[in-house]
Amino acid sequence: MKIALIQMKGTVENDENVAIAVEQIKVAAANGADFVVLPEMFSCPYKASNFPVYAQRDGEKNWQALSSAAKENGVYLVAGSMPEECEGKIYNTSYAFDRNGNQIAKHRKMHLFDCDIPGGAFFHESETLSAGNSVTTFETEFGTIGLMICFDIRFPELSRLMCDRGAKLVIVPAAFNMTSGPNWWEIMFRTRAADNQFFMAGCAPARDETASYVAYGHSIVTDPFGKILGELEEKTGILFCDLELDQADSFRSQYKILKSRRLDIYSLKETGN
């Protein structure tokens, strides 16, 4: 399969951001992409106070535009993430669509990003967002795919639960900042890939130095050995990578990390909805 990560720079206008995304989906499909991924909160400026203002319900215009883009271009689409309003709560939500535009997965960010770095970033998602409570995987013609959002990657339990469900690729719309990005972006993707012996793909916004929240960029794909297969820099662009997901099985047969676990001593149990 060929995956395309769209690293785009957003504006303050929801409709303009969606139009940019739809156009880039067309470009990715024209270059042979099977899977297309958008960045975290691509539809609005990444600021906690913006999320309730830009939030939409399931099935509203953003959802419709992205469903149509998947169908018209015949691609699987992980539509980054957007603020979702549901029963008075706001979520950081990622939708996945199949080649026919059908929604096949929905992930609400489970771990909300709060940080207060002296001389650096101050950001509290918990001021306006509620946390999701579901581990999200979905089935495709290429195998099982996991879906998480940004800060979710910092918690190894979530990746392992996806691994236990049979995921061979985990997709992560994310927006690390200029403190967390240089320190941990590559480390997180390489480590989660190597620990679970699957592919990881992280799609980030392009860097905008004038924004209130400056994203690191560097959209990335890593293989089950933890090797970086491709990575952008900070500017807008599309990262294309050809993946053979069955390589995950090959890697697992060579290095028997998962089979060597001592489940007689420790275990990880999935709970929640």
**212-229 as b/e, with b when 16 or more CB fall inside 10 Å?**
ebbbbbbbbbbbbebeeb
CA distance 206 to 96: 21
Q: Which of 44, 84, 125, 150 is catalytic?
A: 150
Answer for the pair 114, 124: CB distance below 8 angstroms, yes or no: yes
Q: Which of 9, 109, 125, 163 is catalytic?
A: 109
Indicate if 150 belongs to the active site.
yes
H or E segment and range at residue 199: strand 199-203
Q: Which of 40, 125, 231, 234 is catalytic?
A: 40
Answer for the pair 76, 36: CB distance below 8 angstroms, yes or no: yes
- CA distance between the termini of the chain: 31
Indicate if 40 belongs to the active site.
yes
Among all residues, which ones are annotated catalytic?
A: 40, 109, 150
